[in-house]
Amino acid sequence: MTFLAAAIQMAAKSDKSDNLVRAERLIRLAAARGANLVALPEMFNWRGKRSEESAAAESLEGESLALMARLARELQIHLVAGSITEQAPGNSRNYNTSVLFAPNGSRAAVYRKIHLFDVDLPGRVTVKESDAKAPGTEVVSAATSLGHVGLSICYDLRFPELFRRLTWAGAQIVTLPSAFTFPTGEAHWEALIRARAIENQVYMIAPAQFGPNVHGFSDYGNSMIVDPWGRVLARAADQEGVVVAPIDLEYQERVRREIPALQHARLRETPR
């Protein structure tokens, strides 16, 4: 099977309504270009001050995901709603949550980010995601009519065991909505995405935020789609937009057959 996938690049701000208008426009553009699987970046619907985050959080039935469900249904696409800040009733912290919608508008998978980004680089950038977010606990993937899709978010990229577990679960395609900082993105973004693609022989779809953000630093952008051989099939320029590339599952089967590393893996479980 061969189909087109799209990674959307955005520079989301604190005006949720405007973000949603732009996200819808870009989703429609991706669908018009023939994409059957479309993915938005991390926090596509709102990025603002930490003190305002709880007020901007939504449930899975909130306006942002309701719009995504409607667009998936109308455009008959599989849609990865990047991630949103999801309300966690009874918890002082929220979740960073990615949702995969099926073409009928139903939720095919819900993933809550497991690895939270806490870093302090004096004079450069300080981020402590765990101040406001609670970590998820479940590895999530879903069988779809396009193939098996695994879900991850941003900082997860640095934890190869997650991607191997997604592969053992059957993932052929892994989505990675992100907002990588510029210093870490410039150093490691492409290298890590290609590594995860190569070692698991999967397609990586990595939509990202770009440019200066409300937190006082810049996001790296460079949204990309990488094939199981590690080739970068598409890369976004430094602007808001859409990149599209073919997903060829027969080619993936050939890669896995010609280099059967997954069959030769012997350390499938973490020692207790």
What would the pLDDT profile of 221-236 be if each residue is shown by its tens digit? 999 999 999 999 999 9
Amino acid 83: pLDDT: 98
Give the Cα separation of 200 and 89 in Å (integer). 36
Range of the domain at 49: 2-263
Amino acid 118: pLDDT: 83
Residue 117 structure tokens: 């980004």
Range 81-92 average pLDDT: 92
Q: Is the pLDDT of residue 181 over 70?
A: yes
Residue 180 belongs to some domain of the structure: yes
Residue 213 belongs to some domain of the structure: yes
- Domain containing 50 — which CATH number? 3.60.110.10
Taking the whole predicted model, whether its pTM rises above 0.85 is answered as yes
Give the Cα separation of 23 and 44 in Å (integer). 7
Give the Cα separation of 235 and 193 in Å (integer). 12
Residue 270 belongs to some domain of the structure: no
Determine contact, residues 130/92, Cβ cutoff 8 Å.
no
Query: How many domains, in total, are found in the chain?
Result: 1
Residue 137 structure tokens: 């606990």
Residue 65 belongs to some domain of the structure: yes
Read off the pLDDT band of 270 (50, 70, 90).
low
Active site residues: 42, 113, 154
Q: Is the pLDDT of residue 80 over 70?
A: yes
Give the Cα separation of 111 and 167 in Å (integer). 16
Residue 263 structure tokens: 């069959």
DSSP annotation of 238 = S
